[in-house]
Structure 1
Amino acid sequence: MNSREDDELAQAAVGALTGQLALAPKPGLPDPRDLSARTTRVDHRALRWSAKALAPGLAAMAAAARRTGEPTARLRTELGAIGRCTEHSVGLAGGGHRGALWVLGLLVAAAALEPRAGAKDVAAVAKRIAAHPDRRAPRRPSRGSSISAKYGAAGARGEARAGFPHVRRALDALAAARSAGADEDEARLDALLTVMSTLQDTELLHTVGPTGLRHVQAGARGVLEAGGTATDAGREALYALDADLHARAWSPRGSAGLLAGALFLDSLVVTVSSARAA
């Protein structure tokens, strides 16, 4: 049976994912404007619904981490098994969120191991978990790992084994945008664009190759260099990038999952600060 703390971590992770889904406009990504899936070919309502199906699996990952007590190879293997079961459940609920599940699963487990750690310390614990191989994983290579090998991209595994550098960059971007006076949605969009501007997104590499990836990265940098989404020039650049990627049907899905991870860690800051104050 899961503890209340495990369930709270799972709900915080699902809340971070649904918070990412609620943002608009997200260039090339499903958002509330596209309820009928005409543009991105992904039904936003179905994604919101299926996000809730992650909660039991994420709570089980937190419980496994708390029971194990250390970022061991045994824990990594158990998390992998829970993750595959959770993927099946999410598929029955409508699908999606595979990348987010990988990011959030490791971060939830790390947060359970170190309940009073700060956001970036949790990412460092997740790195220690990800360093171990999943000995029960299917032996066939995934599309992401094949693309990583072909182009030398870090991919999802590399991102985790490096301690989620793009999650940490997104956290820095959130803090900087808030300090500059951006509202919460603008800060979150700036964090998404920060990830998009440098991430070697294997989904984009698969669909449009290195040239397309560089085009997306340059577009995201253009919004930030124009002042970010809180400025008129930055907002205009955001809408131009959004129209461009939707017209091309290019989707930087890897960035969305990493933003969800950042929003989850960001939610822990308030919890940890409150616990220390008490």
Structure 2
Amino acid sequence: MDATTFMRSLFALRRYFPQAAALGAQQAGFDALERLGIDAERRMLCATGGINTHRGAVFTLGLLCASAGAVLAQGGPCTPAALRAALRRGWGAALQARCARPRSSAGQRVTQQHGLRGASEEAALGLPVLFDVAVPALRRALAHGLAVRAARLEALFHVIAVLDDTNLAHRGGLPGLRYAQGAAANFLAAGGAAQGDASAQAEAIHREFVARRLSPGGAADVLAAACWVQRVCTD
């Protein structure tokens, strides 16, 4: 995984998100959204030679785009609350049923093994970590005068501290997940991204993660979604 595979993946996915929004506007069922997402994931893997660069974005941002399509088609303002309500109303039951399917991916197996809340369950609940943690943290940091990059760093650590990140659990087991959550909580308790040496502190945590083969990919997906919400929502 490098910059080249990311760019190839982005080009492979460039039509997917507007298509998801269009399905949401049509109030399409979850099966149609899922087929669209599976096809997008196939194109991504073909473009990257089998490397998973954006699977989380295909799932989470796809659902958010569909929710935005549904909200706008009904003439409502695109607010975080409206997005969340549209997601749960339109596809919450189907997402909950998806949780009961046989566990095939590494992330799904980890959720079952450790009793964690996976992506499908998180989405079925209306993405609570996104809307209750990430978006408020990002907005709060920006309102307090942090630069965009620092505000995103603050939001990322808020997410790492609470998310059942299956990528962390897959790499380091439950101890790895808890270690990462604790490191993020300590960073925030010390002042977070408002610290004078916040970048150096974050870099030190990064080096510890690398040494332990820990990658908070799930938290990164939530941060990307929070940036999207911040950009497209009117309130």
Report the TM-score when normalising by structure 2.
Answer: 0.88
Task: Give the Cα separation in 2 of the matches to 1:100 and 1:136.
Answer: 18
Match of 1:204 among 168, 174, 197: 168
Structure 2 CA distance, aligned partners of 1:148 and 1:259? 21
- How much does 1:222 deviate? 1.6
Percent identity between the aligned chains?
31
1:100 matched residue in structure 2 = 57
Paired letter, 2:35: A
Residue type at the aligned position of 1:93: A
| Stretch moving more, 207-216 or 124-133 | 124-133
Deviations 1:15-68 (A, max 9, x none): xxxxxxxxxxxxxxxxxxxxxxxxxxx213321331232221222211112123
Match of 1:158 in 2: 121
Q: Is the 8 A contact 2:29 2:91 kept in 1?
A: no
* Contact residue 201 and residue 254 of structure 1 kept, 8 A: yes
* Aligned twin of 1:50: 9
Contact 1:155 1:202 (C-alpha < 8 Å) held by counterparts? yes
Residue aligning to 1:83:
37
Whole-Å separation in 1 of the counterparts to 2:20 and 2:56: 16
Unaligned runs of 5+ residues in structure 2 are none
**Secondary structure, aligned partner of 1:191:** helix
Question: Any idea what SS the aligned residue of 1:132 has?
Answer: helix
Name the residue aligned to 2:130: 167
Aligned: 1:253 with 2:222: no
Give the match for residue 36 of structure 1.
Answer: none
Letter in 2 for 1:126: L
Work out the CA distance in 2 between the residues paired with 1:234 and 1:120: 31
Q: Which amino acid aligns with 1:149?
A: Q
**8 Å Cα contact 2:153-2:193 kept in structure 1:** yes
Cα distance in 1 for residues equivalent to 2:148 and 2:228: 14
Question: In the alignment, which residue of structure 2 is the partner of 1:61?
Answer: 20
Give the number of the structure with larger relative contact order, counting CA–CA contacts within 8 Å between residues 6 or more apart.
1
State the alpha-carbon separation in 2 of the partners of residues 253 and 103 from structure 1.
13
- 1:26 corresponds in structure 2 to none
Q: What's the secondary structure of 1:141's corresponding residue?
A: coil
Give the deviation of 1:99 after TM superposition: 1.1
Alignment length (residue pairs): 224
Following the alignment from structure 2 to structure 1, what is the Cα–Cα distance between the partners of residues 5 and 32? 28
Match of 1:18?
none
TM-score (norm 1): 0.75
Listed as ranges, the gaps of 5+ residues in structure 1 are 1-41, 69-73, 274-278
Q: Is 1:112 aligned to residue 66 of structure 2?
A: no
The 3-state SS of whatever aligns with 1:93 is helix
- C-alpha contact 2:167 2:217 (8 A) present in aligned 1: yes
Which one-letter code corresponds to 2:206 in the other structure? D
Q: In structure 2, what is the Cα distance between the partners aligned to 1:268 and 1:231?
A: 29
- Tell me how far apart the structure 2 counterparts of residues 234 and 202 of structure 1 sit (CA, whole Å): 26
1:20 corresponds to: none
The 1-side partners of 2:10 and 2:158 are apart by 24
> For residues 55 and 130 of structure 1, what CA distance do their matches in structure 2 show?
23
In structure 2, the residue matched to 1:214 is 178
**Residue 39 (structure 1) aligns with:** none
Task: Report the aligned-residue RMSD.
Answer: 2.1
Change in 2 beyond 3 A, CA 1:245/1:165: same
Distance in 2 (alpha carbons) for counterparts of 1:255 and 1:136: 21
